[in-house]
Structure 1
Amino acid sequence: MNLLDAVAVFAAGVAAGGINTVVGSGSLITFPTLVALGYPPVVANVSNNIGLVPGSATGAYGYREELKGQRDRLLRLGAGSLIGAVIGALLLLGLPAEAFDVIVIALIGIAVVLVMVQPRLQKWVLRRREGGEHHPHGGVTLWIAVLFAGMYGGYFGAAQGVILIALLGIMLDEDLQRVNAAKNVLSAIVNGSAAVLFTLMWLISDTEISWWAVLLIASGATLGGLIGARVGRRIPPLVLRGVIVVVGIAAIVNLLA
């Protein structure tokens, strides 16, 4: 890796860390960058996943005010994210990437639609809850959905934030900024769990990781996560929803290209 390549990977890490904090889909910047520089897709995917972990952590820290009062909820949902991430990471190491191409595109498309209609769906869910049992953590349905989102994130990760913010926004009676804060924590759990598994597989098997790429992405994403938290917390809900939709559509276009 020469100096220009290193600068490109670092810059991609900054952009990805910021986008992941505000919306998600930062991997659609770093992953293609690594592939364009000649890294095999699986190596690029694994290295990218590990590198983005610090950015997820700083993004979650930046939203600490919006995380107040969500501890129990995140402990419950975080367990689903962890289990799903491990399953998804194992699928990445054991299955060909082509097997998930169509599924990945379909998931992002569904997530974009869910974000667009989220206010109406949330009102419908709240009406259904009236007179019945209230689930401040989203109930079993949300836990299972978060587990599947974790599987997706452990396998590829791009746009997992879009999917999570759509699910949480519909199933929880919270404003979008608090939902986004919860999304950042769950994304950090997914990325961190998958990264630990990838590192263990690197230690005990022939799983290939580019640690230079990891270091550069991690450095950039750490800075980007802090910047993203400052910007994202000041975006009005309607604008944030629009950004989510645009990023989700861009993700689909990238994957179809």
Structure 2
Amino acid sequence: MTTWDPSGLVYATLAAVAAGAINALAGGGTLISFPVLVAVGVPPVAANITNAVALCPGYFGATIAQLPNLKGQRAQLMLLIPIAVLGGLAGGMILLRTGERTFTALVPWMILAASLLLAVQEPVKKFVSKRLSNPSHKHHTAWFSALPIAAAAIYGGFFSAGMSVLLLAVLGLTLDDSLTRLNALKQVLAFSVNIAAAVFFLFSDQVVWGLAVVMAIGALIGGAIGGKLAGKLPPAVLRWVVVVAGIAIAILYWVKSN
């Protein structure tokens, strides 16, 4: 069993509220909640696992909100959901077989990578939208998405931050559809990856349940707050605040490890 400082319960809850709100507004909430879990004494692997389980309800809520945009995408869903699930399970298995020392060494690199993915989120959306509006681009089927989706899903099962940007980029490059519908498909695949990894983690004895439960509630509250604030706060500003914070956290990890 993983031990942690009970006094960190308040900090973890507040971090989950912030993560839920940030995910609803701009994305990148994991870059806030994961480092807080480590800071309150949870070992990095257990912190990553607990964070994935705790934020799972947020993925579910976002997926439900996208259901109207999934009409007519049955073929893509039937092919890509199983791939996302298997990739999420594979990423989770790799995580559990990664030693604490190795994962700790990877943490700053993963946080930096996630921060950079968040930084290019809007350019990726603009690129995908421009490509889809170009009448000369070639038609592809969902089979073109299978292998890169599997790679993105494995990454997401291992460390979920930045996964949504990867998924959208892959779908935009390999499928022909509107950005709205691709974004909905991306959300379902992200949920599939997260729920597959989270269910696998339930049997790992690495979930810190005291934190996971309150964080799940906090993430739902944060998501509701973020939904209320949507349109009132500029997502681009919030996104760059999270990006800068993520890069700073990565640097701190490097300094601490040297």
The two structures have a TM-score, normalised by structure 2, of 0.76
Q: Does structure 1 residue 109 correspond to structure 2 residue 116?
A: yes
The amino acid across from 2:210 in the alignment is W
Deviations 1:124-170 (A, max 9, x none): 5775865x5442x3x42x22222111111111111222322333344
Match of 2:204 in 1: 201
Equivalent residue of 1:65, what SS?
A: helix
Matched residue count: 245
Equivalent residue of 1:157, what SS?
A: coil
- Counterpart selection for 1:74 from 65, 73, 77: 77
In 1, the alpha carbon distance for the partners of 2:227 and 2:175 equals 21
Match of 1:158 in 2: 161
Match of 2:222 in 1: 224
RMSD, aligned α-carbons: 3.4
In 2, the alpha carbon distance for the partners of 1:22 and 1:172 equals 26
Cα distance, 1:21 vs. partner? 4.2
- Counterpart selection for 1:255 from 238, 245, 250: 250
Match of 1:205 in 2: none
The amino acid across from 2:188 in the alignment is V
Cα distance, 1:212 vs. partner? 0.7
In 1, the alpha carbon distance for the partners of 2:177 and 2:237 equals 18
Structure 1, 23-32 or 243-252: larger mean CA deviation:
243-252
Cα distance, 1:174 vs. partner? 4.0
Question: Structure 2 matches for 1:46-195, cutoff 5 A?
Answer: 46-95=49-98, 96-97=102-103, 98-99=105-106, 101-102=108-109, 105-106=112-113, 109=116, 112-113=119-120, 115-116=122-123, 118-120=125-127, 123-124=130-131, 130=137, 133-135=139-141, 137=142, 139-140=143-144, 142-195=145-198
The amino acid across from 2:218 in the alignment is G
The amino acid across from 2:43 in the alignment is P
Listed as ranges, the gaps of 5+ residues in structure 1 are 203-207
Whether the 8 Å contact between 2:5 and 2:40 is mirrored in structure 1 is no
Q: Does structure 1 residue 13 correspond to structure 2 residue 16?
A: yes
Whether the 8 Å contact between 1:119 and 1:170 is mirrored in structure 2 is no
Deviations 1:35-63 (A, max 9, x none): 11111111111111111111110121122
Equivalent residue of 1:201, what SS?
A: coil
Whether the 8 Å contact between 1:23 and 1:162 is mirrored in structure 2 is no
The amino acid across from 1:60 in the alignment is T
| Residues 230 and 76 of structure 1: CA distance in aligned 2, closer, same or farther (over 3 Å) | farther
Listed as ranges, the gaps of 5+ residues in structure 2 are 253-258
Cα distance, 1:216 vs. partner? 0.9
Whether the 8 Å contact between 1:25 and 1:160 is mirrored in structure 2 is no
Question: Structure 2 matches for 1:18-37, cutoff 5 A?
Answer: 18-37=21-40
The amino acid across from 1:45 in the alignment is N
